[in-house]
Amino acid sequence: MRLYTYSDARQNFSEVLDAVSSEGKVLIRRRDGSLFSITPEKKIDSPFDVEGISTAISTEEIVSTLRAGRQRF
Q: What pLDDT is stored for residue 73 in this prediction? A: 61
Q: What pLDDT is stored for residue 2 in this prediction? A: 93
> Whole-angstrom Cα distance, residue 67 to residue 70?
5
Q: Taking the chain (73 residues) in consecutive chunks of 10 residues, what is each chunk's mean pLDDT?
A: 94 96 95 96 87 89 92 72
The answer to whether residues 16 and 26 touch, using CB atoms and an 8 Å cutoff, is: yes
Q: What pLDDT is stored for residue 71 in this prediction? A: 86
The answer to whether residues 2 and 27 touch, using CB atoms and an 8 Å cutoff, is: yes
Q: What pLDDT is stored for residue 47 in this prediction? A: 87
Burial 5-30 (b: 16+ CB within 10 A, else e): eeeebeeeeeebeebbeeeeebebee
CATH pick for 1-40 out of 3.30.1490.20, 3.40.50.300, 3.40.1620.10, 3.40.50.720: 3.40.1620.10
Q: What pLDDT is stored for residue 19 in this prediction? A: 95
